[in-house]
Structure 1
Amino acid sequence: MANEISAPSADGVPSDGENVTVAGMNAYLSRPPEASTGGMLLLPSITGISPQLREFADGLAAAGVTALSWDIWRGRPGSDDPAQMETQFQWASELDDESSLTEMGKLLDHMFDELGCRQVGVIGWCIGGRFALLFGGRDSRLANVVAYHPTVPGSPAPNHTLDATEFTARIAGPAMMLYPGADEVVPVESFHRLQDALNSRTTGPSIAHVYPGAGHGFTARALHGNPVNKAATDLSWPQVIAFIRATTLV
């Protein structure tokens, strides 16, 4: 039962997943021990399919949910090493919103058509959190949307051609957004716009969490030297797992 609710620790959840190819794309697949019709599409942070992202995927599988992770860097290695951050920021500036959403749609198709999933949601962290909001507004098949500290700055990056607030208002299903109160990348005004967009919907419950004192990307283990970030991760992950199970294992 512990693996179902606890956040990935320094030791991590044992990696039981595998690297797979879907429609010509790399992906990381982690499946529950027993057959499941619930699934989650994972959209990584700037660190890509890193060791910690694999742990999140394996943790979802341990909770009974099939987890398929999008390779945001298209074959280039993911890494939790802060020394790689500058390179990863450069890669992030080259991402295209529309082509990225197209790739996610192909992965979602695969989950429904090939992996036996009937209810599939999407969860993303940082840059992946923004993509989760965009994809949630684009694809009405999604059973839920979870956006961990989504990177939606006050002034959009040049390659952010789609408006995250506009797409957030279109999300059809239940949505959960988790915001760090000391986010140095996303001003509180941006969070309020996203929250207002969620609350403007006439369908789909909305859950918004605020973690005072936590910084942007607080789930990243590299930032857990700050005890506030670690506490926010430890508190939020079990609630995210419960939300995912309630919306996909039905």
Structure 2
Amino acid sequence: MYVTPTKNRTTYRAVLYLTDAFGLPLIENKLLADSFARAGYLTVMPDIFSGDPAPHDITFNSSEFLARHTTNATDPIVATTIGYMRQNLGVKVLAVTGYCFGGRYAFRFGGENRGTDVVFAAHPSLLEDDEVSGVNAPASIAAAEIDQLMLPERRLEIENLLGESLKPFQVSLYSGTRHGFGTRGNISNPEERFGKEEAFFQAVRWFDKWA
């Protein structure tokens, strides 16, 4: 678990940070968590892969990885972390942010009585219809223009489901970006850098409004 406090050590408002498949070892995840803390949110990033994140390896077998990290394996980790934040850290208002793999769980735990108050996800992957329609909190998505895990027609389906939820929602599409830009965007590319920075500010503005 990676925990980064705010400057004044307040625990009233917090962000639960659910990582992409590269997990805690990815330095970009820690840097983003630190940025949320500087924005005024105690930030907690659990190890949702129990020490088994995806490697940076072109031979990586994603099917085997996903078979190990199912909802049955991941949900209890997220639920335990929420309990820890609420009960041990004294968090009163809990925002959840998720990236890629973690984006799905941001939505899962945005459902009724799941313990979070506001949801943000950047290029979420593997989202099921019932996870979108079941969200019971204001939800915001930062979407990539090029994303094999959320094709344009799927993005429109998700927008429609969010509209039917009758909760505040936002879907922002960033041109020139690819899946993963919210954490691993190439900052030497002006469009990707803009998208990465704006996706972070999108999350903070959403949390500031609804948290």
Check if 1:47 corresponds to 2:10. Answer: no
Q: Distance in 2 between matches of 1:122 and 1:150?
A: 13
Give the one of 146, 149, 164 matched to 1:182.
146
Give the unaligned 5+ runs of structure 2: none
- Percent of paired sites with the same residue: 22
Larger mean CA deviation between 166-175 and 93-102 belongs to 93-102
**Quick one: distance in 2 between partners of 1:83 and 1:29?**
27
Q: Does residue 1:74 correspond to 2:38, yes or no?
A: no
Answer yes or no: is the 8 Å Cα contact 1:31–1:66 preserved in 2.
yes
Measured after TM superposition, the shift of residue 209 of structure 1 is 0.5
SS of structure 2 residue aligned to 1:86: coil
2-side partners of 1:151 and 1:48: how far apart?
15
Question: For residues 223 and 86 of structure 1, what CA distance do their matches in structure 2 show?
Answer: 21
| Partner residue, 2:117 | 143
**Which runs of no fewer than 5 residues in structure 1 stay unpaired?**
1-26, 153-162
Whether the 8 Å CA contact 2:144–2:175 is kept in 1: the answer is yes
The answer to whether the aligner puts 1:217 opposite 2:193 as a matched pair is no
Give 1:32's aligned residue.
6
Aligned match of 1:245: 208
- Classify the secondary structure of the residue corresponding to 1:233: helix
Distance 1:222 1:211, change over 3 A: closer
Q: Deviations for 1:20-42, whole angstroms, at most 9, x for unmatched residues?
A: xxxxxxx1111112123001111
Matched residue type, 1:28: Y
| Letter of the 1:239 counterpart | Q
Q: Quick check: 1:127 aligned with 2:101?
A: yes
What is the TM-score of this pair, normalised by structure 1?
A: 0.76
- Structure 1 CA distance, aligned partners of 2:131 and 2:28? 28
Q: Confirm whether residue 206 of structure 1 aligns to residue 169 of structure 2.
A: yes
> Which whole-Å CA distance do the structure 2 matches of 1:246 and 1:85 have between them?
42
Aligned residue in 1 for 2:34: 58
Number of aligned residues: 209
